[in-house]
Structure 1
Amino acid sequence: MIDLKNTLLLGHRGARGEALENTFSGFEHAQHLNIKGLVGVEFDVQLSADGHLIVFHDDTLQRMCGQQARVDQLNLAEIQRHLQFGHQIMTLEQVTPLLNGFTDIELEIKTHDRTDYTKLVKALTRNLIDSPLAKLPIVLTSFDVELHARVQRSTLLKHIPRGLLIREPRLLKQAPNTALQLDCVQLGIHYPLISRAVIEHSHRYGLPVSAWTVNDIDTIKQLIVWQVDVIITDYPSHLLLN
């Protein structure tokens, strides 16, 4: 068991190293860890062809379902005909009841070069406004500056906290300025890019740092010493249980 001090711990795609990612059983497993100190989860959603938000990481169904089909080219019924190792692919609406009790939920919005932003913003509005999900402590995260700008301009969505994701070293220096211009409230940084200086630089701008995806115990301990704000991991049990 690690002393997390003031660092929050989130399970990645539920807790993908311990249960099948982005599935009912995966989120249920994360819920069982909530009383042990797992404050929340990070997971992905993307748009189906008919406008549903699908809880799924990859662009295609190949890795999880053995099919080459792209998620954005299938409607919900077609997607849910394919099982991921026996488990149904879920919508964001279906996952929502499994998120109750968490105090920090990072929802990554996946986009690509074919993304219909108007359709995506409508889907986010439908799912996040006047819905059970609206009552939960959600932070919308994305690498996509265009998506952030669209949400920033949305009268209905602009109040929802957002985090800018960073995985390229060339973007790191300007990341705090970019985040603030987009009204983001945190940075999500790929952990190999993080140093004490990076965290301190972000904190000077009032931006917490969420580190993803960290599974090495020594690295986790170092990030805690550096006062990283959030750690996202595939193996939360290793950090929470004796």
Structure 2
Amino acid sequence: MTTTSAPWVYPTFLAHRIGGTLAPENTVSGIDVCVKHDYRMVEFDVRLTANNVPFLMHDDTLERTTNGHGMSNEWQWIDLYNLDAGSWFGEQFAGEKLPALYQMGIVCQRHDILANIEMKSCPGNERRTATHVARALNMFWKDRWPLVSSFSQEMLAVVRECAPDFPVGMLFKDIPADWKDIVKRLDCSSVHVKHTFLNAEIVKEMHALGLKVMAYTVNDVDAAQALLSMGVDHICTDRPDLLRC
């Protein structure tokens, strides 16, 4: 289906939010978890600062995973970078920084780790976020073939237009009736679906369209084996210590 020039080089298992439940999410410390458990691919979330720097953060707001407060898109990058993004998880991670997208590219390259970059946005900021993510991809991620995903069709359309060399994956919580029209319109390479909505029949339909299928977020060995048996290509997990590559 897709017209991207990127090769499909992604391993079966990837670590959700970089370190899963074993390190503070969306931080460089999670890379150590991946190296320890022989994972070669991570998934992480990217959103935009007030001064247009793409950085790693899942939530719209800062309180859950940092010592900051308020909406993340209202902060300048220098102020976000000075936050503590590790103490909430454990004292040993005190002082952990929020990485920028370009910084994580350097870290992934150093450790030979691939990435699934999930774009997120505060409401109304979708197009601007995707535009600056696409610019960062073109500047810092060439030849490293990140897989770019989002729940937002608008954001994926921007990436297809502004960074066409990179494969994109459509994220679904469940599977809408018009899923085939969506993935065709966006020229997707993959579909990422909450694992409880997948079965062998729908996986076969997705494969018939030339799509790869990723299941999220799978933290049980038996569930992972069942998904692989039905033909699922990739599994995103919080437990790289349990699901072995």
Normalised by the shorter chain, which TM-score bucket?
0.7 to 0.9
Change (3 A) 1:178 1:125: closer
Hey, what does 2:117 align to over in structure 1?
A: 107
Quick one: which of 174, 180, 187 aligns to 1:176?
180
Q: Which amino acid aligns with 1:214?
A: V
Any idea what SS the aligned residue of 1:180 has? helix
CA-CA distance at 1:7 after TM superposition: 6.9
Hey, what does 1:165 align to over in structure 2?
A: 171
Higher helix share: 1
Any idea what SS the aligned residue of 1:148 has? helix
The one-character-per-residue Cα deviations of 1:168-213 (angstroms, maximum 9, x if unpaired) are 34x1x32233112111110010111111112111111111101111
Superposition pairs of residues 230-241 of structure 1, within 5 angstroms:
230-240=234-244
Hey, what does 2:90 align to over in structure 1?
A: none
Superposition pairs of residues 28-47 of structure 1, within 5 angstroms:
28-33=32-37, 36=38, 38-47=39-48
The one-character-per-residue Cα deviations of 1:8-27 (angstroms, maximum 9, x if unpaired) are 00011112211221111112
Runs of 4+ in 1 over 6 A off after TM superposition: none
Query: Please, which runs of 5 or more residues in structure 2 have no aligned partner?
Result: 1-9, 88-93
Superposition pairs of residues 61-72 of structure 1, within 5 angstroms:
61-72=62-73
Hey, what does 2:132 align to over in structure 1?
A: 123
Q: Which amino acid aligns with 2:150?
A: S
Hey, what does 1:92 align to over in structure 2?
A: 101
The one-character-per-residue Cα deviations of 1:122-150 (angstroms, maximum 9, x if unpaired) are 4223311143x212121110111111222
Tell me the distance in 1 between the aligned counterparts of 2:199 and 2:242: 23
8 A contact 1:48–1:73 mirrored in 2: yes
Tell me the distance in 1 between the aligned counterparts of 2:145 and 2:161: 21
Q: Which amino acid aligns with 1:15?
A: G
Tell me the distance in 2 between the aligned counterparts of 1:28 and 1:82: 21
Quick one: which of 153, 177, 185 aligns to 1:145?
153
What's the TM-score once normalised by structure 2's chain length? 0.85
Query: Please, which runs of 5 or more residues in structure 1 have no aligned partner?
Result: 1-5
8 A contact 2:14–2:235 mirrored in 1: yes
What's the TM-score once normalised by structure 1's chain length? 0.86
Quick one: which of 21, 34, 45 aligns to 1:17?
21
The one-character-per-residue Cα deviations of 1:71-119 (angstroms, maximum 9, x if unpaired) are 11111112122212121111111111221254642100002422051x3
Tell me the distance in 2 between the aligned counterparts of 1:40 and 1:138: 10
Hey, what does 2:84 align to over in structure 1?
A: 83
Moved more, 220-229 or 15-24: 15-24
Tell me the distance in 1 between the aligned counterparts of 2:112 and 2:12: 11
> Among the aligned pairs, what percent are the same residue?
25
Tell me the distance in 2 between the aligned counterparts of 1:75 and 1:180: 37
Any idea what SS the aligned residue of 2:242 has? helix
Aligned-residue Cα RMSD (Å) equals 2.0
CA-CA distance at 1:66 after TM superposition: 4.4
8 A contact 1:141–1:164 mirrored in 2: yes
Change (3 A) 1:102 1:174: farther
